[in-house]
Structure 1
Amino acid sequence: MPSKPPRVCGCGKRVPFGKRCPCQAKRDAERKARHDQTRPSSSARGYTGSWDRAKAEFLREHPFCRRCGERAAVVDHKTPHRGNQDLFWDRSNWQPLCTTCHSSAKQREERRAIKRT
């Protein structure tokens, strides 16, 4: 079965189909590091010991992922709180998700919503 030919990166290197050029990976890592430097710490965003206790209680009451039915590990905010503490602590805005659903599908939906606005 034939595969697609390699492509040429902007830096001039040939890159096999489906792979990333090392220069692209380096740029991505630098961009993510710059973003992390400006992002407040988790405790500054509200994820404190109080949150850990509330999250554990919520997961005991709702042990399964809202999307796929697997064991839930994350309490997700349906509407991103963006620092709004009233929305952060509103239990009607919480949903149980497994790590896979939270880290893939939910994040993809949020990125699409941001692009639309």
Structure 2
Amino acid sequence: MPAEEMCECQKAAKIARGRRHDQKRPSSRQRGYTRQWEALRAEFLRHNPACKFCGNQAEHVDHIEAHKGNPRLFWNWLNLQALCAHCHNSIKQRIERGNHV
């Protein structure tokens, strides 16, 4: 059900689930998003300024295949794609959940 079709109690429950998930999740630094990552991210966005899905200005560098802590996938330039915030937070999330666009 799209967010605009949720009642207030459903929206509140969804936010609470997200907070519980975030509390269990390691910090971004613990997941490898360090200064070295920030440098790679900046370089990647210089070379790939447009979102791979829609062509708008890219803001995120996304791992095509989830790295799940695997350094080879994490640092592999060929496993990265530039995405705008909208596509990263909607299309890519649906793909990862198996709800292909």
Instruction: Report TM bin, short chain.
Output: 0.7 to 0.9
- Greater radius of gyration (CA): 1
Residue 58 of structure 2 corresponds to: 72
The question of 1:111 aligning with 2:97 is answered yes
1:49 aligns with 2:35: yes
Task: Render the CA deviation track for 1:23-68: whole Å, top value 9, x for unaligned.
Answer: x333223222211111000000011111111100110011111111
> 1:58-69 residue pairs with structure 2 within 5 A?
58-69=44-55
1:32 to 18, 26, 42: 18
Q: Which residue does the alignment assign to 1:20?
A: 7
Cα distance change on mapping 1:66 and 1:26 into 2, 3 Å: closer
| Structure 2 CA distance for aligned equivalents of residues 26 and 68 of structure 1 | 31
Q: How many residues align?
A: 95
What residue is the counterpart of 1:8 in the other structure? none
Misfit runs of 4+, over 4 Å: none
Which whole-Å deviations, capped at 9, do the CAs of 1:72-105 have from their partners, x for residues lacking one? Answer: 1111111011111110000010111111111110
Q: 1:50 to 1:60 in 2, by over 3 A?
A: same
SS, match of residue 82 in structure 2: strand
Aligned to 2:82: 96
The residue type paired with residue 65 of structure 2 is T
Q: 1:70 to 1:87 in 2, by over 3 A?
A: same
Instruction: Indicate the RMSD between aligned Cα atoms, in angstroms.
Output: 1.4
TM-score (ref. length: structure 2): 0.85
Structure 2: any 5+ residue segments left out of the alignment?
A: none
Which secondary structure does the structure 1 equivalent of 2:98 belong to?
A: helix
**Who is 2:72 aligned against?**
86
